[in-house]
Amino acid sequence: MENWVSGYEKPLIIAGPCSVESQKQFSETIERLPIQEIHYVRGGIWKPRTRPGNFEGHGAKAFEWVKTTQKNEPFRFATEVATPEHIAQALDHGAELLWIGARTTVNPFHVQQLADALRGKDVAVFIKNPVNPDLSLWKGAIERFADAGITRLGAIHRGFHSHQPSRYRNPPIWQIPLELKSHWPDLPLICDPSHIGGDAGMIEEIAQRALDLDYDGLMIESHCQPEKALSDAKQQVTPERLREILSGLELRASTFSDVLLNDELAQIRQQIDQADKDILDAIATRMDLVKRIGDYKKDNNVAIFQISRWKEVFRSRPDWGQELGLDPEFIMELYRQIHQQSVKKQTAIFNTQDKQVDSGT
């Protein structure tokens, strides 16, 4: 896949209101936006909502407000589409970038319908990650559009739904988009800090983190009066605040150009490799101990899952990690994975021994 956004000055910026609410709201927002720093103006024409009765956008008539505003301040317009009818109307009204929302990406049937509707069309298409942290589903959606002949493809990282407590509205789980990028190094990847944070005060921090990870761009929601927004009011920033955020972001070089720095980096990476081996040795030792406990539980007819032990581990490990300067939230997530593997290993022990009894061994 070709990184077609490389022709733009990095980072690619997509910004504008969550929804096109009225002619006045949209025009005032655009008038105050730092339009010269924005490659595409975003605006929701249709708004998929979790429950009925909330504002779901004005539909096709909102395009007329966009067109009227473009006469005074030319810009490329971007919007979300969820049906073939949305695509037809968006293209008829001159939208130059379309994105597929997180709720749509989860359904391969819907994705295929949209890909078929775009077959042969010359338009930029970005695919948001699915709501749940499923990399294969995200890859599959991108592949369907690529198979339909869409060459200007990109991905939007907007975070993932989680039942676990988090400071984020949609925890970023950064390793998933980075795995996507490692699979398709030239696929443009942009970050949506508005939906990840769910709070205007978190946007700058998340945006800088994305640029530090060499993302190609950002999508940020901006509204002339965020407190009066009909959707996602808490996560939108004023155009003036957006200007401050963009001017404060630091861009990083993609590679080291200095030979000495490269040599030093190689030495540090060797130390990281050794540290990783030590970590894996420690995990292997822990799993050997888990196996011994599994054998003991089986022999003494004790249940695999012990709630008191589970609480003890998840109470103490974040504190231990914090004493070492580690993020407690990271430690919690790490031990969820370790605990899940431990339960899986002990379950296998129970099942294996049951089969041995059944077979007479």
The type of residue at 264 is E
Q: For residue 121, give Cα distances in angstroms to 127, 146, 200.
A: 16, 12, 35
Q: Do the domains at 4-248 and 259-358 have one common CATH topology? A: no
Q: So what's the pLDDT on residue 8?
A: 77
By the 8 A CB rule, do 42 and 79 touch?
Answer: yes
| 338 neighbors 290 (Cβ within 8 angstroms) | no
Residue 292 CA to residue 22 CA, distance in Å, equals: 66
Give the CA distances from residue 73 to residues 27, 45, 77, in Å, rounded to whole numbers and listed in that order. Answer: 9, 19, 12
| Model pLDDT for residues 24-61, shown as the tens digit of each residue | 999 999 999 999 999 999 999 998 777 787 888 999 99
Which segments within the chain are labelled E, that is strand? 12-16, 40-42, 77-81, 97-100, 124-128, 153-157, 189-191, 217-221
Amino acid present at 45: I
> Rounded CA gap, 213 and 254, in Å?
9
Distance CA 200, CA 216 (A): 21
Q: What is the CATH number of domain 259-358?
A: 1.20.59.10
Spans of the chain below 70 pLDDT: 254-261, 353-361
pLDDT at position 255, please?
62
Q: Which fold has domain 4-248?
A: TIM Barrel (3.20.20)
Question: Which pairing describes strands 153-157 and 124-128: parallel, antiparallel, or unpaired?
Answer: parallel
Q: What is the pLDDT of residue 53?
A: 78
pTM: 0.77
Q: What's phi and psi for 175, nearest 5 deg?
A: -65, -25
CA separation for the pair 206, 202 (Å, rounded): 6
Q: Which residues of 177-209 are buried (b: 16+ CB within 10 A; e: fewer)?
A: beebbeebeebbbbbbbbbbbbebebbbebbbe
Domain ranges of the chain: 4-248, 259-358
CA distance 20 to 324: 48
- Cβ neighbours for 120, distance < 8 A, ≥ 6 positions apart: 149
Q: What is the pLDDT of residues 50-101, one digit of tens each?
A: 778 788 899 999 999 999 999 999 999 999 999 999 999 999 999 999 999 9
